A and B are shown apart, each in its own frame.
Chain A
Amino acid sequence: MNLVAMPILLPLLTAIAALLLRADTLRRGIVIASCAFQVIVALALVILTARQGPIALSIGDWAPPFGIVLVADLLSSIMVALAGIISLASIVYGYLELPCRLEHPLRIPLTQFLMVGLCQSFLTGDLFNLFVAFEVMLICSYALLTLEADDWDIKQAFPYLAINAVGSMIFLAAVAFAYGIFGTLNFAEISQRAAGMSDDPRVLILAVLLLGVFGIKAGLFPLYFWLPNSYPILSTPLAALFGGMLTKVGVYVLLRVFGTVLPQDLSGLHTVLAWLGGVTMLLGVIGAVSRNFVRGILSFHILSQIGYMVLAIGFFSPYAIAAAIFYNIHNNLVKSSLFLVGGTISLLNGTDDLKRSANLWRATPLLGVAFLLLGLSLAGLPPLSGFWGKLMIVQDGLRQGEYVLIFVALFTSIFTLLSMMKIWNASFWTQDASVPVRIHDRRWIGLTAVTCTMALLTVAVTIFAGPLIELSHQASEEIFKRETYIRAVLQLKADRGGVVDQAVSVPFEAVSDPIDGTSNPWLPEVAR
């Protein structure tokens, strides 16, 4: 069984198993074991792709571009690994928060299906398959959004649903247009066919359409309105999963489509992307400052951080893309951990309203330290991981002379700090005897343990920032030099050491006489 399919297959099987079992400790054990295994598989994938380049798997053994291809290059593997880690943390947190009896039996299956959709989006090499992956993800998210929401919150699901449903339909149309323009749905082949077409207005229009759709998914201005009001209704573990991963799919897809698939000289569009990122960043942080509930604040910060990453993508140089990738790694972990902290705060104080939260520094200094590390990392204070990402973006921005955008980025950074300090001051440093701290509710110990583990993980990212940045550079290079990707997919002669392994399907033998009797035109020989 090839490694590339595992991240999709494992959650699928786990979800079905979870559906069939009752919600008790046996099921919990199976799910956690499976999630841990998923993480291991994902990390193995990262190591493998770091060593030998992109790995492609053709599903059903049909040669691309006719069968569907799963491609794991370094970027995809990194995203899958992050998804696995955050999913594991979120599930463990959820288990510690609720006893078996109160757990909603459908939550775990839906979460696992969400993982299927996530990993499929990251690994697929086919545009329509991407659409289907999005649909799987989206409908899981709709279901999860409303699963345990309180009655008075259900209505928040509506804007989310409406916007994303319409977005899906537009995506479908865009996929159709892509097929019409390029004649194929396979990323690698589109990449080849599109290579000379950057002045073709159809490609430009398609790019704008895709930008719109992925912007909705990612939370880009002015398409982000569904996010800040719908995420706060989620329970903590789901909020961590959604906030940590779901929006990042949009960022990943932007990287993939604009990096690997579409021609790389759509510079006007890149500028638009950068500016949209800048505005999103600003409005996101302003929104965060205006809120008083931890979850509301963090939801807006998601937007702000997305802005950073899209800004980096918009700068569109190998260095900037590496910055975006590293920022992604840092941000996914930090963001989801912050949501977990928020959940623990609301468990201890009974609410996540900052005005009614206090006394936590004395009560749980460990949680405070975790929050401090995470909050300062988000704000980009050295020597924590957020700083390195920010530094890379600032360096590349100043290199390219984008002074206004860098000013906006730094301005956002100080306000992010302000926002984190607000939470710190209110929940941790304030001593108010009238605010209860439910230490007697023993769940907080387990939750704090999970949160601190995640915080330690972000510290590990800080310590190993060097190697991780090198990894990001490698992933960025793979995107810019698409040949490795294309070659892996089209099974070309591997002249870069060890690009394809046995998993890549051999050229399809059963083909009857090709059209003109010479070499099979469906498997073009392209020597790079």
Chain B
Amino acid sequence: MTAVLLAAILLPMLSVPLLVWAGARWGSRAGRVALVVPLTSLALIGWLLSGAEAMTERVVTIPWIPSLGIELSFIVDGLSLFFGLVVSAMGVLVTLYASSYLDDHYRDHGRFYAYLMLFMASMLGCVFSENLLLLFVFWEMTGISSFLLIGFLHDKQDSRDGARMALFTTGGAGLAMLAGVVLLGEVTGTYSLVALRDGAMTQSMAEHGASWDGILTVAFVLMMIGALAKSAQFPFHYWLPNAMAAPTPVSAYLHSATMVKLGVFFIARIFPIAAMLEAWTPLLVSIGFLTMLLGAIFALLSHDLKGVLAYSTVSQLGFLVGFYGMSNTDGASLDLLHVASHVFYKGCLFMVVGIVDHAAGSRDLRKLGGLSRRLPALTIITLIAAASMAGLPGTMGFISKEYMLKAKFDHWHSDAWLNWLPLTLVIIASLVKVLFSIRLVRSTFFGPLPSEIDEHFHKPSGWMLISPAILAGCCLTFGLWPDLISPALRTLSVEGLHLETSIHLKIWHGWTREFWTSLGIMGLGAFAWLLLGAGRLNRAGIPSWLRFDQAFNAFMNAIPAIAKKITSLTRADRPMDYLPIILGTIFVSVGSLIVVHGARLLELTGLRGDWRVSELLDPLRSFVLLLVAIAVLMVTTLRRWTTQLVALGTVGFLLTFYFVLFRAPDLAMTQILVEAATLILVLMLLSRFPRAAETGERESRPAATRRIMNIVVAVIAGLTVTAFTFVVATSKHAEPAGDFYLKQSVPAAKGTNAVNTILVDFRGFDTLMEVTVLLIATLGALGLLMRYRRTEAEAKAGPMGPPGMGVIHETDAERERWTDR
């Protein structure tokens, strides 16, 4: 069974490169080839279902990275099988549909099917995951594949924008979900859903009491943010309509049947472990039903066919979310029925819209009409699906609505607001739904046929009708004989999620409250349509203050500008400001630490309380110190380069003398040599500069604040170094390494000059590297001066550009700039 499960998930993934190749080879016919893949997955999952009479859940575990807590563990239970079936079955239907929809006007067919299969694999992985981290991995993979799919027609700006919006929104929320998942994992000690359900959750709550309940709630809320964004709930609802820039098969698959359902799936998945939290009901009920209403209203006000469907999806998902919210600790019932019903009619309607778009060239409700004459079969299909959407009797949608209302009336909650609020919202939303269902059908298929549409009408191929027909058929069949689906629902019920009731679906229950309610809704809906009429609706639009997507786009466009401002505020663009900041930071932190620990440091130096400075100073050395101080001062204050350098040289030679006083003859010698070499080098170079360079140097004083800051930093640096040097030097370690060298210099290294033996023998490696540094410095200087050119002609022609670009020809402006400064 492991093999079957893994095959069902991995096969689509592995087929990706094959499909790309198939697309390159066969073009638009690659779709037929691609059909094999979802069919295989469907068959495999069906096999899993058939082997599940006892319907015990089975868990498959393969260890992966134990230290992180992630394992490849999959669970086969009712929920995962149901969604697995939905995903793969819809995959088959959509692939079939797409193979005729994507005709030769499109390009990159292979890639399309490859993305589609990648998506399907990710979805399957997600629904079958038992480990929360693994679920998250697949979750994000669905995000990426959906990004690729939405942006498939990447030539168009709105495709790219829609894809970006989807990725950013769901990805960003996904990060919140990651935080939630990890928090949960850390708090309870496990990422396994089964372990959590079987007690880890309650145990951890019991062990740690109230404060951890808070953390668990935070984790839950974070996870919900991710789930709700994926299902396009308020306030994340804005990405879905913009994702309609995707080709229709993608919308039919992702944005009606599968990906957006992921959020709802996740809620169902963690129902057994999180429903006991106090935040469950308020959060889900409020957001769910609010979204339901909002979505329905937007669907009514939207003019784009796909937009209508997108918003209505959002609305239905909102209902499902709220439904789970209400179903608290008792368990949900028939939720899978609602999901299935939605999949059928919504998938069908999306496909219909695609065909209409293909045929008529437009998706705008205001421009369409009268297509029933040209597309009679399609009209019938649409009528069925739209009827299911509105909840008319005879369709599965009606069954679903009835049972939903029944559940509400039967489980009358103790909290009043949990009864009336959802009920009212559901009724209003259903009303609106009837309205826009009528509008959809009426404005597309009935009424006058506009002449532009008639002229450019393009009869779609019959193959395209197969998938929507199948879906519509399901709507009708299960609407008329709902009991057909009962055994499946019974088998698929999940412990901990579903109520233990026996399921026998019937159309007619008698003149119950729910029946009257449904009747009322339909009647009012029809009445409202007659009142409003198509005309008024055509003129309305979604108010701009609710257009979150516009806000999002504006935000996206503003980000670079904001970022630039912040970056320039932190001075990353001004080199002249870097150095004071860097040096200031280092020395101020070190200096403040010295001050803070001053007493202790002083103690370490071993000075008694009654020391006097004169005890510490030696007259000869102090004199040298004074001379150096004067020389350094002169370096700072003198103006001409040559005099500055002379002063600098004086400093160097005075230090030589200081080295002698410090009993370091080698040092003194080296210092003289290097000092001389330095002076010669610098003087030599400076002499090549025209006098104008020196006097022309704008010695304009920097602003007073800058100067003061420089002085302050310098003073702090100097004091810090002095203090710390003194402290460390007087509190030296008792066993310095130098003693060894003194002892071993003659016997081991056979040399009397200890410094030499260190340099050449004991620590010869340092010397090797130091010589290398010199060599590299030479090479670097050489490189600077080489102004690397190859030929005389090229040298005359101008400076070299970036490698490979050859010689660049200076423009006049450049030449001007470089030559007379």
Do chains A and B directly touch (beta carbons under 8 Å) in the complex?
Answer: yes
State which of A180, A430, A511 has its C-beta within 8 Å of the C-beta of B729: A180
Given contacts A98-B804, A511-B748, contact A12 B772 (CB under 8 A): yes
B729 to chain A, nearest CB (A): 6
From B65, B570, B733, contact of A469 by CB (8 A)? B65
Interface segment out of the listed B4-12, B462-470, B775-783: B775-783
B794 nearest CB across to chain A (Å):
10
Per a CB cutoff under 8 Å, which of B590, B769, B803 touches A208? B590
Q: Is the CB of B733 within 8 A of A180?
A: yes
**From A227, which residue of chain B is reached at the shortest CB distance?**
B572
Query: Is B207 among interface residues, defined by CB-CB distance under 8 A?
Result: no
Given contacts A136-B773, A183-B736, A421-B168, 16 further A-B pairs with CB under 8 A are A12-B772, A104-B788, A135-B773, A136-B769, A146-B784, A148-B803, A150-B800, A163-B579, A163-B582, A173-B725, A179-B737, A202-B728, A209-B586, A381-B140, A418-B559, A431-B155
CB-based contact A60/B762 at 8 Å: yes
28 A-B residue contacts at CB 8 Å?
Answer: A59-B765, A60-B764, A66-B740, A102-B806, A109-B779, A113-B779, A116-B772, A129-B765, A139-B776, A150-B800, A177-B724, A177-B725, A184-B737, A201-B593, A204-B597, A205-B593, A212-B590, A223-B585, A289-B563, A290-B563, A376-B144, A391-B68, A391-B182, A395-B68, A407-B179, A429-B151, A469-B68, A510-B747
CB-defined contacts of B613 to chain A, threshold 8 Å:
none
Inter-chain contact A410/B733, CB cutoff 8 Å: no
Contact: A470 with B578, CB < 8 Å? no
CA–CA, A116 and B573, complex, Å: 32
Point out the residues of chain A lying under 8 angstroms from B144, CB to CB. Answer: 376, 381
Q: How far is the CA of A147 from the CA of B736 in the complex (A)?
A: 43
Judge if A312 is at the interface, Cβ distance under 8 Å.
no
Interface flags, A279-306, vs B, CB<8A=1, else 0: 0000100110110100000000000000
Q: Is the CB of A287 within 8 A of B578?
A: no
Cα of A9 to Cα of B810 in the assembled complex, Å: 44
Question: Given A67, A182, A394, which contacts B762 in the complex, CB threshold below 8 Å?
Answer: A67
| Distance of A361 Cα from B567 Cα, bound (Å) | 31
A38-46, A382-390, A479-487 - interface stretch? A382-390
**Are B186 and A170 closer than 8 Å at their CB atoms?**
no
The verdict on A193 contacting chain B, using a C-beta distance below 8 Å, is yes
Contacts of A470 in B (CB 8 A): 67
Task: Tell me whether A132 and B582 are in contact (CB under 8 A).
Answer: no
Among A132, A283, A322, A388: residue with most chain B CB under 10 A: A132
Task: Verify if B446 is at the interface (C-beta below 8 Å from A).
Answer: no
Chain A positions within 8 Å of B777 at CB level? 139, 143
Which residue on chain B has the smallest CB distance to residue A146? B784
Q: Scoring A residues 146 to 164 as 1 if CB is less than 8 Å from chain B, else 0, what string do you get? A: 1110110000001100110
- The answer to whether A388 and B182 have CB atoms under 8 Å apart is no
The answer to whether B68 and A388 touch across the interface, beta carbons within 8 angstroms, is yes
The segment from B170-178, B338-346, B451-459, B678-686 found at the interface with A is: B170-178
Shortest CB-to-CB span from B168 to chain A, Å, is 6
Cβ contact within 8 Å between B780 and A143:
yes
Q: Contact string, A219-239, partner B, CB cutoff 8 A, digits 1/0?
A: 000110110110000010000
Interface membership of B583, Cβ < 8 A: yes
CB of A87 within 8 Å of the partner chain: no
Query: In the complex, are the beta carbons of A143 and B185 less than 8 A apart?
Result: no
Encode B69-103 as 1/0 by CB contact (under 8 A) with A.
Answer: 10000000000000000000000000000000000
Q: Is B795 an interface residue (CB 8 A)?
A: no
Report if A417 contacts B (CB, 8 A): yes
A128 interface residue (CB < 8 Å to B): yes
**Given A159-B575, A410-B179, A429-B151: A417 in contact with B790 (beta carbons within 8 A):** no
User: B549 near A: Cβ within 8 Å?
Assistant: no
CB atoms of A66 and B581 under 8 A apart: no
Please name all residues of chain A whose beta carbon is closer than 8 Å to the beta carbon of B572 when the two chains form the complex: 225, 228-229, 283, 287
Asked whether any CB of chain B lies closer than 8 Å to the CB of A333, the reply is: no
CB atoms of B803 and A414 under 8 A apart: no
Please report the C-alpha to C-alpha distance between residue A212 and residue B581 in the assembled complex, in whole angstroms.
Answer: 12
Given the known interface contacts A290-B567, A382-B140, A398-B182, the answer about A66 and B590 at a Cβ–Cβ threshold of 8 Å is: no
- Is B133 among interface residues, defined by CB-CB distance under 8 A? yes
Whether B154 sits at the interface, judged by CB under 8 Å, is: yes
Residue of B nearest to A238 (CB): B803
Interface size of B by CB at 8 A reads 106
Residues of A within 8 A of B582 (CB): 163, 166, 216, 222-223, 225
Shortest Cβ gap from A465 to chain B (Å): 6
Asked if A309 is at the interface of the complex by the 8 Å CB criterion, the answer is no
CA distance A113 to B744 in the complex (A): 33
B residues within 8 A CB of A12?
Answer: 772
Query: How far is it, in angstroms, between the C-alpha of A381 and the C-alpha of B185 when the chains are bound?
Result: 19
Known: A136-B776, A222-B581, A235-B802. A425 touches B160 (CB 8 A): yes
Q: Is B53 close to A, CB under 8 A? A: no
Which B residues are CB-close (under 8 A) to A440? none
CA gap between A72 and B91 in the complex, in Å: 54
Q: In the complex, A387 Cα to B727 Cα: how many Å?
A: 47
Closest to B721 in A: A173
Which of A143, A146, A413: most chain B CB closer than 10 A?
A143
Does A436 make an interface contact (CB < 8 A)? no
What is the interface of chain B mostly: helix, strand, loop, or mixed? helix
Residues on B with C-beta less than 8 A from A496 are none
> Which one of B728, B765, B790 has the highest number of Cβ atoms from chain A below 10 Å of its Cβ?
B765
The winner among A129, A148, A391 for most chain B CB atoms within 10 A is: A391
The minimal Cβ–Cβ distance linking A154 to chain B, given in whole angstroms, is 8
Interface residues of A in 461-486 (CB under 8 A from B): 465-466, 469-470, 473
- The answer to whether B567 and A287 have CB atoms under 8 Å apart is yes
> What A residues does B168 contact at CB under 8 A?
414, 417-418, 421
* Chain A residues, Cβ within 8 Å of B563: 286-287, 289-290
Q: Compute how far the CA of A319 lies from the CA of B769 in the bound complex, rounded to whole angstroms.
A: 36
Residues of A within 8 A of B176 (CB): 410
Cβ–Cβ < 8 Å partners of B575 in chain A: 158-159, 225, 229
A201-B597 in contact given A228-B572, A381-B171, A383-B137 (Cβ < 8 Å): yes
Q: Nearest Cβ in chain A — how far from B756, in angstroms?
A: 14
The answer to whether B559 and A289 have CB atoms under 8 Å apart is yes
B790 touches A414 (CB 8 A): no
A285 to chain B, nearest CB (A): 9
Q: A469 contacts which chain B residues (CB < 8 A)? A: 65, 67-68
Q: Shortest distance in angstroms between A508's beta carbon and chain B's nearest beta carbon?
A: 7
Find chain B residues with CB under 8 A from A166 CB. Answer: 579, 582-583
Task: Evaluate contact between A205 and B151: CB separation under 8 angstroms.
Answer: no
Cα distance A184–B737 in the bound complex, in angstroms: 5
Residue ID in chain B nearest A425 by CB atoms:
B160
A186 to B733 Cα, complex, angstroms? 14
List chain B residues, Cβ under 8 A from A283: 566-567, 570, 572
Whether a CB of chain A sits under 8 angstroms from the CB of B564 is yes
Q: A62-B762, A361-B154 given as contacts; is B175 within 8 A of A410 (CB)?
A: yes
Distance of A475 Cα from B732 Cα, bound (Å): 34
> How distant is the Cα of A132 from the Cα of B586 in the complex, in angstroms?
22
Which chain A residues (167-204) contact chain B, with CB distance < 8 Å? 170, 173, 177, 179-186, 193, 200-202, 204
Judge if B167 is at the interface, Cβ distance under 8 Å: yes
B773:A202 contact, CB within 8 angstroms: no
Task: Please give, as numbers and ranges, the residues of chain B lying within 8 Å of A376 by CB-CB distance.
Answer: 144
Residue B571 interfacial (CB < 8 Å): yes
Q: Give complex CA distance A229, B572 in Å.
A: 8
Decide if B567 touches A110 in the complex (CB within 8 Å): no
Quick one: given A60-B761, A65-B737, are A508 and B748 in contact (CB under 8 Å)? yes
Closest to B735 in A: A183
Given the complex of chains A and B, what is the CA–CA distance between A387 and B175 in angstroms?
11
Q: Which of A101, A200, A515 contacts B790 (CB 8 A)?
A: A101
Identify the interface centre among A106, A113, A216, A382: most chain B CB within 10 Å of its CB: A382
